[in-house]
Amino acid sequence: SVNDPYSGKTATGGIVTFTDSNWVMSFTCNRQPHFPDQPKDTLVLWVYSLLMDKDGNYIKKPMPECTGNEILAELCHHLGIINELDGVVDNTIVRSTYMPYITSQFMVRAQGDRPEIVPQGCTNLGLVGQFVETRNDVVFTVESSVRTARVAVYSLLNIKKQVPDIDPSQYDIRHLLRAANTLNDGKGFIGERLLRKLLKDTYYEHILPPTHLDSQEETKRNDSIFSEYWESIKGIWHK
């Protein structure tokens, strides 16, 4: 299903990146309205590209050399609506901003391109911030900069303390299922009802996100559907 961007609810639910884009173009349509006085028939989208030195897939120029409408055309190409470009251009205002270093910390790099927080052999030099090598951390957050400072201080002053570990929540199935549920406006995720049925009254039931209790009639209907699915699966298995 497609979330209605005019509904006032979640639209894209976050940034969407076109993985086959030469520019590594991304866009997002956040919950509307974006501005307090925004007209009800107007949507505000945010578009971003990472690579500034590559020709586009549709517009054969680097993004910094493009007009706003050319950037819009590249977006339409990746959205698969390039045949509607004229209508989109007539009804869209593009405001472009060029900030070549704003996300330079995300640029492709190799091991050794960035220094260690305390370079090998240094006893009075610590490097902190977004452009040093860290362990199991991400850039672009204040927390990551603070962590590099703590590592530098503890190392240089020989303080026997450990910087708090980072919670690897990206590997926690509970967080992933809750995120999937949230992205769908709390309506659940594909296969949720089957999963709830399988895990009911088991040790693993707690991994599922909280949900509103179904009515008795709906519960009976879901049990019936589950039984039909289960019989079909058993039939395939025995073949």
**Residues 177, 209 within the same domain:** yes
Task: Give a yes or no: residue 134 inside a domain.
Answer: yes
Task: Give a yes or no: residue 151 inside a domain.
Answer: yes
**Residues 69, 122 within the same domain:** no
**Residues 153, 173 within the same domain:** no
- What CATH number is attached to the domain comprising 62? 3.30.9.80
- The first and second tokens of residue 215, run together, are 């009515």
Q: What is the pLDDT of residue 216?
A: 52
Kindly report, residue by residue over 78-136, the tens digit of the pLDDT: 999 999 999 999 999 999 998 888 878 888 888 889 999 999 999 999 999 999 988 77
Task: Give a yes or no: residue 203 inside a domain.
Answer: yes
- The first and second tokens of residue 213, run together, are 């209790």
Q: Are 77 and 70 in contact (CB under 8 A)?
A: no
Q: Write down which residue in 141, 166, 191 finishes a domain.
A: 166
Q: What is the pLDDT of residue 223?
A: 60
Q: What is the pLDDT of residue 21?
A: 97
Q: What is the pLDDT of residue 136?
A: 79
**Residues 162, 173 within the same domain:** no
Of residues 227 and 166, the one with the higher pLDDT is 166
**Residues 153, 182 within the same domain:** no
Kindly report, residue by residue over 181-223, the tens digit of the pLDDT: 887 777 777 778 778 888 888 888 888 887 654 545 555 555 6
Kindly report, residue by residue over 7-46, the tens digit of the pLDDT: 888 888 788 999 999 999 999 998 899 899 999 999 999 9
Q: What is the pLDDT of residue 38?
A: 93
Which H helix or E strand runs over 37?
none
Q: Write down which residue in 149, 166, 183 finishes a domain.
A: 166
Q: What is the pLDDT of residue 26?
A: 95
Q: What is the pLDDT of residue 215?
A: 47
Task: Give a yes or no: residue 97 inside a domain.
Answer: no
Q: What is the pLDDT of residue 173?
A: 86
Kindly report, residue by residue over 134-188, the tens digit of the pLDDT: 877 888 888 889 999 999 999 999 999 988 888 888 788 888 888 888 877 777 7
Task: Give a yes or no: residue 5 inside a domain.
Answer: no
**Residues 149, 173 within the same domain:** no
Q: Are 192 and 208 in contact (CB under 8 A)?
A: yes
* CA–CA gap between residue 183 and residue 187 (Å, rounded): 9
Edge-to-edge strand list for the sheet holding 16-17: 16-17, 25-28, 46-49
Task: Give a yes or no: residue 129 inside a domain.
Answer: yes
In terms of residue numbers, what domain contains 223?
169-238
**Residues 176, 233 within the same domain:** yes
Task: Give a yes or no: residue 8 inside a domain.
Answer: no
**Residues 206, 230 within the same domain:** yes
- The residues near 23 (Cβ < 8 Å, ≥ 6 apart) are 49, 50, 51, 52, 54, 56, 63, 74
Number of folded domains that form the chain: 3
Kindly report, residue by residue over 56-79, the tens digit of the pLDDT: 999 999 999 999 999 999 999 999
Which residue type, as a one-letter code, is found at position 95? R
Q: Write down which residue in 166, 185, 206 finishes a domain.
A: 166
Q: Are 188 and 181 in contact (CB under 8 A)?
A: yes
